[in-house]
């Protein structure tokens, strides 16, 4: 087989894209003191992300995700260890309140401890738009009680089903599930549909479905 190692994490990856587009981005997270933590810090800083607000947890491994792909580039099995994020708490967040209150928007994912998800959405969602990628069905369960505080949501169909409690196996049912979340307070939803593209809905009754021309995956 072939192996490749790169800095990752859903919110970190979004941060890198924003930084490369010229945005001013600060990442607030917990990182281990291992070799991977140094790689994450160095690669992220090189991409333009301000890493000064991160917690460095001594004698702890950094978050990691290992994915095994088949010969078509599809995931066969995966394993993740995000336990270092559990070191974050609201005391840690409050010490960075000055930085957070100056933000134009907040991006987070539900890999955070549930009390932190509750705390940051309670404190900031009324004044700063909060964007969230649910990441997985399991993490979507952690986000579900607070989803109405999220401004912009980007689930896939399985995550949408968990968050809404509604079946999403047809396009009409997916739209109904989106409507339920919009009624709870979400402002905009982008549902990734794989090869079928994206479903967009918002509180202004806009509904858009689009799919790009298929491309060949590069493995």
pLDDT tens for 120-176 read 999 999 999 999 999 999 999 999 999 999 999 999 999 999 999 999 999 999 999
User: Residue 134: its pLDDT value, please?
Assistant: 96
User: Residue 44: its pLDDT value, please?
Assistant: 97
Confidence of residue 84 (pLDDT cuts 50, 70, 90): very high
Please give the share of the chain, as a percent, with pLDDT higher than 90: 88
pTM as predicted? 0.90
Q: What are residue 201's DSSP bridge partners?
A: 189, 207
Strands (E), 55-109: 55-57, 64-69, 75-81, 106-108
User: Residue 194: its pLDDT value, please?
Assistant: 86
Q: How far apart are CA 70 and CA 48, in angstroms?
A: 33
Q: How far apart are CA 9 and CA 43, in angstroms?
A: 12
Which uninterrupted H or E stretch holds 153? Answer: strand 152-153
Mean pLDDT for the chain? 94
**DSSP 8-state code for residue 194:** G
Confidence of residue 219 (pLDDT cuts 50, 70, 90): low
Q: How far apart are CA 20 and CA 173, in angstroms?
A: 37
42 pLDDT above the threshold of 80 = yes
Please give the share of the chain, as a percent, with pLDDT higher than 70: 99
Confidence of residue 21 (pLDDT cuts 50, 70, 90): very high
């Amino acid at each position: 087989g072939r192996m490749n190692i790169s800095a990752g994490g859903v919110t970190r990856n979004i941060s890198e894209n924003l930084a490369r587009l010229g945005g001013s981005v600060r990442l607030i997270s917990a990182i281990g003191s291992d070799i991977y933590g140094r790689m994450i810090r160095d690669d992220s800083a090189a991409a333009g992300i301000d890493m000064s607000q991160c917690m460095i947890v001594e004698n702890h491994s950094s978050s990691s995700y290992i994915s095994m792909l088949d010969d078509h580039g599809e995931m066969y099995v995966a394993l993740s260890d995000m336990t270092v994020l559990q070191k974050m708490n609201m005391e840690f967040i409050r010490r960075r309140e000055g930085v957070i209150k100056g933000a134009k928007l907040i991006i987070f994912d539900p890999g955070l401890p549930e009390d932190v998800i509750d705390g940051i959405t309670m404190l900031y969602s009324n004044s700063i738009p909060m964007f969230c990628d649910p990441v997985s069905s399991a993490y979507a369960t952690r986000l579900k009680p607070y989803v109405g505080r999220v401004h912009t949501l980007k689930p896939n169909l399985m995550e949408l089903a968990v968050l809404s409690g509604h079946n999403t196996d047809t396009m009409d049912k997916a739209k109904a599930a989106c409507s339920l979340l919009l009624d709870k307070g979400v402002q905009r939803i982008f549902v990734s549909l794989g090869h079928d593209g994206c479903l967009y809905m918002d509180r202004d009754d806009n509904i858009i479905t689009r799919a790009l021309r298929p491309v060949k995956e590069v493995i």
